[in-house]
Each structure stands twice: as C-alpha cells, then as structure tokens.
Amino acid sequence: MKFLIVGLGNIGDEYANTRHNIGFIVADAFVLNLKGKFETGRYGAIAQVSFKGRTFIVLKPSTYMNLSGKAMRYWMNKENILPENCMVITDDLSLPLGMIRIRAKGSDGGHNGLISIIENIETTEFPRLRMGIGNDFAKGYQVDYVLNQWTKEEEKVLIPRIEAAVEAIKSFSTIGLVRTMNVFNTRDA
C-alpha cells in the first residue's frame, strides 16, 4: 500500500518554525521517526519511507501555501495514489494549541492551502490531520499570528503533540482512518 502525506507550510528561513508551518514540522518529524531523508523533487521536498509494509511519499510543497494543490496533484498522479490514501497536515486556528483533529473529508475552512488542494484535485474527500495552533490574537492580526514563531511555552506543549501526530499518521496507514479518528480525536491537547 502506498500513501501520500502532505505537510503544508511555506518555504524559506523567514517561515521556519512558524505556526503556519506546523504541517512541515510534523512531516519532518514523521520522516525522521522512520529514518528517512528529504530530497529536492518536483514542486517540493520529497521523502520516501516505509512502515509495516506501507510506503509513504512525504511531500513538503515548495509552491508556498496558496499553491499547495499543484504539488499534491502532481505527486498523486506520479505515484498513482488515490485521495483516500492521502493525508494533508495543516494548521487550524479554531482548535486549541496542540489539539489534533483528523477528518475524512470536509471544507477548506478558509485555509488557503486547503482551498488550493480542493481546486486542484477536485474533491473535498481526502483525509486531513488538523493541528491546533490556538487563536490568541487581536482582531485583524490573524496573518501576523500564523506567520509568527512559536513561543517557548507553546513549544513545550507542542513537542508531545507532534509525536502524537506522527503516531496518528502511522495508525492511519495500519488500522485505517475511522479507528484512527476514534483514538486520536478523543485525546485532549
């Protein structure tokens, strides 16, 4: 079985370790956990890792968040992977810091990366792992908030949650999406 894991984020040092890049951070942790390594590929950094007989193509798009769908569509087609065997990892302002929510499908929720993916693969029916980044910002400062770096206090909360997200991706590939949602969606941040 082959899976495509897509961590959403923006390339460049100025975006490293920002809230909006939690998808890249989880993708890095997943690949590191399975002793893989990213290489430069078409439309992004690509790694291929294995776990319990499953092959994972892990993508960190280099197209910037707003064009993530172009990269995902390319790798889905190249590797012949169906939407149900994809998992998109994204930040979510509506969830408390560190909370994980896995869904089988859904709307874009106003997230530019998800908007691009839905437009490019022409379906909303693909699994996504949403990582809560909180919403501790004044009205009108959403962009500043998501593009700012994590605080030291946030990092302490986040580290074990990133590890949980890695385990959730493994679980998705072995016990299936529904059982994974039942396990990981009930855990508190």
What confidence tens digit (pLDDT) does each residue in 81-123 have? 999 999 999 999 889 999 999 999 999 988 999 999 999 999 9
Q: How far is residue 161's CA from residue 141's CA, in Å, rounded to a whole number? A: 25
Mean pLDDT for 15-26 is 92
Residue 6: helix, strand or coil by DSSP? Answer: strand
* Cβ–Cβ < 8 Å for 134, 155: no
Query: Which pLDDT belongs to residue 122?
Result: 96
* Cβ–Cβ < 8 Å for 38, 88: no
State residue 80 phi and psi, 5-degree precision.
Answer: 55, 55
Q: How far is residue 172's CA from residue 168's CA, in Å, rounded to a whole number? A: 6
Sign of the C-alpha dihedral, residues 59, 55, 181, 32? negative
Of the residues 19, 20, 128, 130, which is catalytic?
Answer: 20
Query: Which pLDDT belongs to residue 188?
Result: 58
Q: Which of the four CATH numbers 3.40.50.1470, 3.20.20.210, 3.40.1080.20, 2.60.40.150 does domain 2-184 have?
A: 3.40.50.1470
Burial of 167 (0-12, 13-18, 19+ CB in 10 A): middle
- Establish whether 111 is a catalytic residue: no
Query: Which pLDDT belongs to residue 137?
Result: 80
Q: How far is residue 76's CA from residue 56's CA, in Å, rounded to a whole number? A: 12
Helix count and strand count (H, E) for the chain = 6, 7
What does the domain layout of the chain look like in residue ranges? 2-184
pTM of the model: 0.94
Count of all residues that appear for the chain in the document: 189
Q: How far is residue 93's CA from residue 16's CA, in Å, rounded to a whole number? A: 18
